[in-house]
Amino acid sequence: MSKVSKPPLILELITIASQYLAGKGIDSARLDAEILLGHVLNMERIDLYVRFDQPLEKAEVDAYRVAIARRARRMPVAYITGSKEFYSLEFKVDSHVLIPRPETELLVEVVLNWLAERPETKCKVVELGTGSGAIAVSLAHTLTRDAGKAPRIYATDISGPALEVAKENVNRWEMGDIVELFEGDLYSALPSGLESEIDVIVSNPPYIPTNELKGLAPEIVRYEPVGALDGGPDGLALYPRIFAEGRKFLRQGGLVAVEIGHGQGQAVMSIARDLGYTELELHRDYGDRERVVTGTWK
Give per-residue pLDDT as tens, 18-33.
Answer: 999 999 999 999 999 9
Share of the chain above pLDDT 90, in %: 90
Asked whether the predicted pLDDT for residue 1 surpasses 80, the reply is no
Tens digits of per-residue pLDDT, 35-80? 999 999 999 888 998 888 899 999 999 999 999 999 999 999 999 9
| Residue 131: pLDDT band with limits 50, 70, 90 | very high
| Residue 89: pLDDT band with limits 50, 70, 90 | very high
Same-domain status, 178 and 286: yes
In a domain, 3, yes or no: no
pLDDT for res 139: 98
The last residue of one of the domains, among 30, 48, 73, is: 73
For range 237-260, the mean pLDDT: 98
- For the chain, give the mean pLDDT: 95
Share of the chain above pLDDT 70, in %: 98
**DSSP characters for 186-231?**
GGGGSPTT-TTTEEEEEE----B-GGGGGGS-HHHHHHS-GGGTB-
Domain of residue 212: give its range.
Answer: 84-297
Tens digits of per-residue pLDDT, 139-194? 999 999 877 888 999 999 999 999 999 999 999 999 999 999 999 999 999 999 99
Rounded-to-integer distance, Cα 118 and Cα 122, Å: 10
pLDDT for res 52: 87
The last residue of one of the domains, among 21, 48, 73, is: 73
pLDDT for res 2: 43
Same-domain status, 51 and 135: no
Asked whether the predicted pLDDT for residue 133 surpasses 80, the reply is yes
Q: Say what the pTM is.
A: 0.93
> Between vectors from CA 162 to CA 161 and to CA 168, what angle results, nearest 5°?
95
Same-domain status, 158 and 51: no
Same-domain status, 224 and 279: yes
In a domain, 26, yes or no: yes
In a domain, 35, yes or no: yes
Residue 271 sits in a domain whose CATH number is 3.40.50.150
In a domain, 2, yes or no: no
For range 109-125, the mean pLDDT: 93
> Do residues 167 and 219 touch, judged by C-beta distance below 8 A?
no
Same-domain status, 51 and 132: no
pLDDT for res 158: 97
Split into its structural domains, the chain has a count of: 2
Same-domain status, 38 and 180: no
Same-domain status, 144 and 247: yes
Same-domain status, 176 and 216: yes
The last residue of one of the domains, among 73, 102, 120, is: 73
Other C-beta atoms lying within 10 Å of the C-beta of residue 66: 13
In a domain, 79, yes or no: no
Residue 61 sits in a domain whose CATH number is 1.10.8
Same-domain status, 46 and 101: no
Same-domain status, 67 and 88: no
